[in-house]
Amino acid sequence: MSLSLKLNFIKGWPNPHIDEFIGKAAANVAVDEGKIAHRDASGNWVLGVSAVNQTPYVLWNGAARDGDHGASFDKTAGTQQVSWGGIQGVSHNNAIEYETAQYAGTPVFGDSLYADTDGVLKICAGSASVSGKVIIATVTKGVHAAPGSGVNMVTVVPDNSKRVTA
């Protein structure tokens, strides 16, 4: 089910029992579809995941290109993405698999990924630059062109082990 050019749910969505949240972006946070965020104490979206007690969410625009809401993702807007207002995030606590164009490097099958303060998925490689990062996803399919759009994406599943890189 192709939902956009930056995010495509493969498994687990739509689902009436899914853990999701609709909220606004925190001050000075420019969200974008397919990026990873967590909720702050006020329920606002903050990019990245820096602590094991933060639940990762993948952000999206309510399927703008599937005709449900008919609005392009406006990363500068605080609320507007879904018809009832707000930016939707689907929790990594769900049994989901998705493709995203929001990644860095060249992830391959089996790579563990983290999301830094830019919300982009990054490879947990054996370097000091990734020390102390919370692993939130595992690659199930490396870089590939998404069917129909040709946009390069990686396919991931959530990793809820709460592991932190050494």
Domain that holds residue 70: 7-158
Residue 100 belongs to a domain: yes
pLDDT one-digit tens code per residue, 40-91: 999 999 999 999 999 999 998 644 333 334 445 555 544 444 445 578 899 9
pLDDT of residue 128: 53
Assigned domain for 51 exists:
yes
Residue 98 placed within a domain: yes
Q: What's the pLDDT at 1? A: 34
pTM of the model: 0.83
DSSP result, 124-162: --SSGGGTTPBP-EEEEEEEEEPTTT--EEEEEEE--S-
pLDDT tens digit sequence for 147-159: 777 789 999 999 9
Answer whether residue 166 is part of any domain: no
Domain count, the chain: 1
Please indicate, yes or no, if residue 93 is contained in any of the structural domains. Answer: yes
Strand partners, 47: 37
Residue 1 lies in a domain: no
